[in-house]
Structure formats: C-alpha cells, structure tokens
Chain A
Amino acid sequence: MEHIISILVENKFGVLARVAGLFSARGYNIESLSVAPTLDPTASMITIVTVGDDRIIEQIMKQLNKVVEVLKVIDLTETHFLDRETALIKVHTKPEHRDEAIRIAAIFRANIVDSSPTTYTIEITGDVEKVEAIINMLKPLGIKDLIRTGRIAISRETTRTASPRREPALLKN
C-alpha cells in the first residue's frame, strides 16, 4: 500500500543523502520525494511517497526515526491529510488544438503560464488523480515535456475533518 511519509530533518548537508541512502540500502521504494525549508530555518521537510506492506512501513518509520538528524517522522496515511502535487505540462498546440488546450485547462482550473507559437505550458496543482487526469486529457494533443514536483502533504486539523476529502469540482464527470 502507498504511504506518504513526512520527515522533519535538521537543515544540514548530507541529511538528504542519509535518508535517501537508507531507502536504497534496505531496498525500499521511493515513488516521489520532495524537500523544502520549513518555518523554522534550522529544519527542512522531506516528503516521501513509498510503497510497502505494514512490516516494511513499520521498518521504514523506525529506521528513519533512528537517523540522528531526523527530528520527527509522520506517516500521514494513518491520519486525515491533504496532499497536493504541481505539474508543468508543455503541450504541442497546433492552431486547431489551441481551443481544446484552453478548454481542458479551464475544466481543471489549471493556468496557462507560458505560450509560444507551437506550445502552451500549463500549470496544474491538485491531488494525484487530478494531475494524472489532466495529463491523460492532454496526451492526445501531444505532450512535449512534463515536470512534476512529487507530492507534498499536510495533516488536516482535527476540528475540520468533516471537510471534503477531495475537491469535488471535476471528478464527478
């Protein structure tokens, strides 16, 4: 099963290598990885999406906790959480495809952030289903290039767990 793990680490060099090395040395998968600063300048947040059965995930959590520079490890999958990914998608836009590209972007509430005579670059943010859905919709037009940030995630506040798990906007159709 897929797990999203948030790892708060000391903001020091070599820490990412130690965390990533732990995954490779023990044969654990990294599906996606994102690292960025936090409010506290001395700490960084690593978000790793990984796959494994309960035993493997338990080991991953324990092994991560063992690393001296790791401050906190949370398996968000165990809680209510919100996850997002951003993708920048460069699509070929022949004149007859431009309207379609704009329409797709509008349906997904995506932005066209760059354009050239032959391409549009579309920025999309959403959960993984949404990002993959727009990619599938844009494929027939011809995707020239694609870059994804990997997922980031945050726990939902317990008082607001009633809020919808997913934005309902487009997935209904």
Chain B
Amino acid sequence: MKITGAEIFCESLKREGVKTIFGLPGGVVLKIFDVLCQRTDIEFVLTRHEQGAAHMAEGYAKATGKAGVVLVTSGPGMTNIVTGLADAYMDSVPLVAFTGQVSTDLIGNDAFQEADNVGISRPCTKHNVLVKDVNDLAQAIKEAFYIATSGRPGPVLVDIPKDVSIAKAEFKYPDKVNLRGYNPTVGGSKQNIRQAAEEIMKARKPIIYVGGGAVFSDAADEIRELAEITQIPVTMTLMGLGSFPGNHPLSLGMLGMHGGYWTNMAMHHSDLLIAVGARFDDRVTGKLSEFCPEARVIHIDIDPTSIKKTFHAHIPIVGDVKAVLRQMNVILSSMDGNPAKMKAFRAPWLKQVNDWKKSHPLTYKQDDKIIKPQYVIEKLYNMAKHDAIIATDVGQHQMFAAQYFKGHKPRTWLTSGGLGTMGFGFPAAIGAQFAYPDRQVLCITSEGSFQMNLQELVVAALHKMPVKIVLLNNGVHGMVRQWQDLFYEGRYSASVLGKTPDYVKLADAYGIVGLRALKPSEVEPVLKAGLKHKGPVLMDIHTDPYENCYPMIPAGGAQHQMMLEDPPELKLAKKGGAHKRKVDEGEGELPA
C-alpha cells in the first residue's frame, strides 16, 4: 500500500525510536504536521522560536545520547535553526533537522519562504540532503540518523519539499544503510594502543586530558579504570566535564583559559599527555608553541581530522574512545598488577600537583553586602541532587559553573563550548527535562544570555516542567566587561546592559514562580525555596558586576602564565572609584 511522504516521515521516525520532536510549523510542512497530530506515539513540542527548538533538541541529545530531532518550515524556519546547527556541529551533538522546502517545481524561483536550505546549512552540518523523490525519503531518514549518531556525531539536515510530503510511495524502512563513502574507524590500531600503554607505564609525569568525545562515547567507566590503575590525574575540557567524577581524588577539574592553576601547571610540566576525545582547542592550549613543551602526546579520537590538526601527536590512535580504552586497560592491567607499586611510582608527581592545588586554590571573597557569583554556584552545588543535570549559557557564569559545580556523571553537563552560543542554556535545559521529566534540571544562566531565548519560558510553564533557572544577574555582559577591564582600560563599550527587566514580574507574566536575592544572606533561602518548588522557577540573583573570573590565560598567552587575580592597576582603579559602578549610575539601573 502506498502512503504519503508525511506518513513515511512519521513511520520512519517511529522506527528510529523518536519520541519527541521540537519545532514550529509553517506552510510547506503542513502535511507533515497534519499527519503528526493524528498520531499519539510521537510528542511534538511547539517552541516559540526555531532557535529554541534547535537548542532543546541539542539539550535532549546531550542528556540522552540519542539524536535530537527538529522539524521546522522552509525559509525563516530553517534560517532560524542555523545557530543550533552550527553549535551542534562544533560540539559534535547528534541532531537530525527536518526542514520544509517549497515544492520541487518552485525550487530556484525565489518562491515564498524559499531558502537554499542545503546550501545554507552545508558548512555547519555533518551531512545534508534535499529529498527530491518521495521514494528516496525513507532511505534519506535512515541515513540521516545513522550519520548523526555514528562516528563523530553531528547535525544532519534533511530538506523535504512540500510535494514530496504529499506524494505517495510504498513504505519499506531499510534495515541498514549502505554508504560506501562513510565508514568510521572504531577499533584503533592495536600496535599503537600497545605502544601507548608502554609509554603510560613508563611516564613519570603523565596527565589524562579528556574532552567531549569521551562523553559521547560513554567512556566514563573506562576513563575511571584507566586513571585508577595507572594513578594518573585527569583533567577535563569544558565539553568533557562529567566524564570523570569531579570529586575524585585524581580529578583536576577543568583545564584551559579558566582552568585551575594546578591543572594548567600539571599540563605544562607533564611528560606524557593522554588526550582522550579532545581536540586541542585554542581555549585549552593557549599559545601553541609553549603548550605542554615536555610532553609526549598520545591522542585518541574517532575523528582523524582532530589528530595533528593544531598540535602534534606522537602516538595517534583513531578510534572510538570507549573501544580503544577498553583494549588499553586490558593491556595495562596485564602489564603491572600491583596497584601499590604504581601508587608509589606516581606519588611524587601527584604530590607536586597537589602542592600546586594547595598553593593556588580557586578563591573569592564573599562579604555581607554584595553577592559573588561563585558563592551562588557553590551553594547551588551543595544543595543540588547528585544526578542533577546542569545547562549553562555562555560567559562568566559558565566558567564559574565549570569551576565550582563539580559534575559527577556524564551527560549531566550541557553547555555550548565550541561555538559559545549565548541563549543555548535555557532551551537546552527544557530539552533535557523532556528527556528526563523526573530528574532535577538546573539552568545556570545570566542576564545577557537568558534574554536571548527567554521566549521559551512559556514552554516550561505550559508543560509544568520542574526546570529551575538560576539567573546570575549582574547587569552586564560579564565576560566582555572583564576583557574590557583587563585589555581595554575599563572602557565598557556596549557591555553594560542599562535597563534590565524585572524578572520576578516576568516570571509572574508567564505564570511561573519568580524569586529574587539581593543580599548574600538571601541566596540560600531563595535557592532552597526555588529547588523545593515543583514547577518552573526563575531565581533572579543579583551578583557583583565587577567580579572577574580567574585563573585566566589571556588569549594567545602561554598555558602556565595565568593571571590569578585583578592586576594591580585594576585593583587600584576599582579602589579609587574609577570603576565606580557605572551600572548604578542611571545608565545601568538594576531593578529594586
């Protein structure tokens, strides 16, 4: 029996196990929506902006490991998800985006709401395809899910013209894909794995540097095993957080531009770097020519292009992190079964790292007048559930959260790393909450980022989602303001927001609970009340607009040359009132 393209679409998604789709309807996808509303097996989440849909799908995908699914219309519907696609591409998030397209006979005619969806999305998708014939639709969908979720995951776009969704064809969902040009390497070279294991045993000052690839590969257990049998400290990139327990004695927390002093020092002085699903991003390496100068490099990554892209690798291993580490752990265990001996061998190195940690821990000074953002995150960390999912936006609050909110489990840390997309966090939190309605989902965000996608508040309200928004409201684009203080003599060009909405009233307008903390003493009660409430809560917490995030490797600076506090001239300026709160002087008024 022949069925329509729209029905093929829904049937195919069902076969792929899709339960939730995020998106927004429009003219050319009406047929698909018409079929969708007559089914009960797939939930459609109507967002208020297509960008929100893309980030929700990302949040869903990051939290579950399954592909997030987006369905939007042609033209503006598609262009609005471009940021989400680019974000997913940078952070290797499995995403399948279905976009409507004008009928095949109109393509190229500048028809109403026509855009070159495939052309626009080409540089920010792993793969994309325009389906011109309804007979190819099922195959295209099967391939899209396979490509999005296999190898190094990424976004795939399937463009469906209106007439294709209406035309009929026999439906037979393919059992397997046959892509002769796509065959990711999984196993890794046995010889290189063995050689790597030998170097690991010999190294005196090794360090494991874990990236997002470890999270996607579900390799947390293998990393823990590797670290414990070899007694090697583990540092994580922003994307890798959660892949190793943050409170483990061997955990060094995050490295890089705002990583711990001890972490970056350990990297700099290491003699063996074991990079696991990480890509030597510039925010990690700082000045490349002075990055890890003494280290031999083992680089495990499923994407061959990540290896030797920016930094050399002495032992490259192309393969799935989990599969490679499993083999490596077997070899390592057989090499030396004596944990006590290993502990003694690594002791001087671990002591050195610990000394760095003791001499320069993360610090901030909380007085009784103005709330420090770090204080809020620390309190939140202590009050949150063990398996809470954290979604953040981008900027200072993100770095504070990365520093102070020690993740315990993989897939509990949702953040926009590569692209640095402000506006990511809140929709991502909603997406994760759809995947796990009963888990605690916390969105840590700030003034600048939150306003970029706050329209999705109504989705949280409508679905009575327990999502909690902790808004660190400092009235400025904090990270921009920090750079202006450090590198542009405190000229706050376009970083002071000026007028900010009354978030408690805003929450009220959306029918959700709004709470506010203005003084340090109010932080704990507000967080407590907020976390206790069942529905969505917006916590507006007014923080110090002048707090800076340290340690900091200035852009282009070497890894071991971190700034640890405000430089003397900035301290002086702050003290002398040159940095008198411009935010408070009318131009930047905070709500009472």
Contacts and interface: CB of A to CB of B under 8 A. Distances in A.
A65 interface: yes
Interface string B300-320: 000111011100000000000
A68 B122 contact: no
A21 to B, nearest CB: 6
Interface residues of B, number: 20
A58 interface: yes
B285 to A, nearest CB: 15
Given A59-B309, A66-B303, A71 B180 contact: yes
A62 B304 contact: yes
Interface string A44-81: 00000000000100110011011111110000000000
A70 B118 contact: no
Interface in A111-158: none
B123 A21 contact: yes
B181 interface: yes
Interface string A1-34: 0000000011001100110010001000000000
B464 to A, nearest CB: 41
B308 A17 contact: no
B159 to A, nearest CB: 10
A70 B126 CA distance: 13
A5 to B, nearest CB: 15
B304 A18 contact: no
B182 A14 contact: no
Contacts, number: 39
A145 to B, nearest CB: 31
Contact of A71 (B122, B126, B181, B309): B181
B1 interface: no
Contacts of B287: none
B118 A65 contact: no
Contacts of B304: 62, 65-66
B592 interface: no
Contact of B179 (A25, A55, A65, A68): A68
A21 B122 contact: yes
Given A14-B130, A68-B182, A70-B181, A62 B305 contact: yes
B181 A68 contact: yes
A14 B122 contact: yes
B118 to A, nearest CB: 6
B181 A17 contact: no
B180 A55 contact: no
A24 to B, nearest CB: 9
B469 to A, nearest CB: 36
Nearest to B179: A68
Nearest to B181: A71
B439 interface: no
A63 B130 contact: no
A62 B180 CA distance: 16
Interface string B127-151: 1111000000000000000010000
A62 B185 CA distance: 13
Contacts of A21: 122-123
A67 B304 CA distance: 12
Contacts of B182: 68
Nearest to A60: B305
Interface in A63-107: 63, 65-71
Contacts of A70: 181
B119 interface: yes
Given A68-B127, A68-B181, 11 more contacts: A10-B181, A14-B119, A14-B122, A21-B122, A55-B308, A59-B308, A59-B309, A63-B305, A69-B181, A71-B180, A71-B181
Interface of A: 9-10, 13-14, 17-18, 21, 25, 55, 58-59, 62-63, 65-71
Interface of B: 118-119, 122-123, 126-130, 147, 179-182, 303-305, 307-309
13 contacts: A13-B130, A14-B119, A14-B129, A17-B122, A18-B122, A21-B122, A55-B308, A58-B308, A62-B305, A62-B307, A68-B147, A70-B181, A71-B180
